[in-house]
Amino acid sequence: MTAVSVAVGVVSSLVGVGGGVMTIPWMNFCNVPMRQAIGTSAALGLPIAIAGTVGFIITGLGKDHLPPLSLGYVYLPALVGIVIGTFVTVPWGAKMAHSMP
């Protein structure tokens, strides 16, 4: 499990995707019911996103030629837009997940 966790974290940060892309199929492979895998993946997405964001901030601090309103390699207006979009769409996604077989 540790090796899979590390692989998910590394690939997620390199490809720029949330860990759910890989954790849901892995949990399904491990016989976790799909709804539980989706819920667990959503909970795991937060620490993965925070770790990735902190990593990109630290790596990009002090770099030249970054746009204004950047904190390291994180463009703050995009961060705000993603956070707002996530909070708006999460209830819809949860409702969909519970209505599907």
pLDDT digits (tens, 9 = 90+) for 5-60: 888 878 877 887 777 788 888 899 999 998 888 888 888 778 878 888 899 999 99
Give the contacts of 68 (CB within 8 A, at least 6 positions apart).
none
Binning pLDDT at 50, 70 and 90, where does residue 88 land?
very high
pTM (2 decimals)?
0.68
Place of tokens 């016989």: 31
Q: For residue 12, with 0-12 CB atoms within 10 Å meaning exposed, 13-18 middle and 19 or more buried, which class applies?
A: buried
Q: Which amino acid is at 27?
A: M
Query: Domain range for residue 66?
Result: 2-99
The tally of domains found in the chain comes to: 1
Rounded Cα distance between 40 and 35, Å, is: 9
Rounded Cα distance between 89 and 81, Å, is: 12
Binning pLDDT at 50, 70 and 90, where does residue 94 land?
confident
